[in-house]
């Protein structure tokens, strides 16, 4: 594995936390069967994704539990703690909406 034991523990904790949150959401919404298919499907997909991440980790490839995709770096919100504000160099390779 390419990760340190503490990192692996954090990934396992993240997977368990997501599983627990979906289970709690399902229990809290027992009276609303409209949400059941969504919650069950989301929980099942999370379970499968965690298994895939473990499988790839055993092969030496770390796959993050989530990804952040920035469509543009031209945000003008200037939110506190935003990683986008840390890098002020624009490379000019923005996505074209046309």
Q: What is the pLDDT of residues 44-64, one digit of tens each?
A: 888 898 888 889 889 988 777
Residue 71's pLDDT band, with cuts at 50, 70 and 90, is low
Q: How many domains does the chain have?
A: 1
State the average pLDDT over residues 73-95.
65
Mean pLDDT rounded to a whole number for the chain: 75
DSSP, res 81 = T
Q: pTM to 2 decimals?
A: 0.48
Q: Is the pLDDT of residue 24 over 50?
A: yes
| Residue 63 counted as domain residue | no
The answer to whether residue 21 sits within a structural domain is: yes
Range of the domain at 26: 5-58
> What distance in Å separates the CA atoms of residue 28 and residue 24, rounded to the nearest whole number?
6
């Amino acid at each position: 594995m390419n990760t340190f034991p503490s990192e692996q523990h954090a990934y396992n904790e993240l997977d368990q936390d997501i599983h627990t949150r979906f289970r709690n959401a399902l229990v809290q919404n027992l009276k609303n069967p409209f949400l059941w298919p969504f919650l069950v499907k989301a929980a099942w997909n999370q379970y499968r994704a965690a298994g895939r991440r473990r499988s790839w980790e055993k092969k030496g490839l770390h796959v993050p539990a989530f990804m952040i995709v920035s469509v543009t770096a031209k945000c003008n919100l200037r939110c506190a703690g935003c990683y986008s504000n840390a890098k002020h160099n624009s490379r000019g390779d923005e996505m074209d909406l046309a």
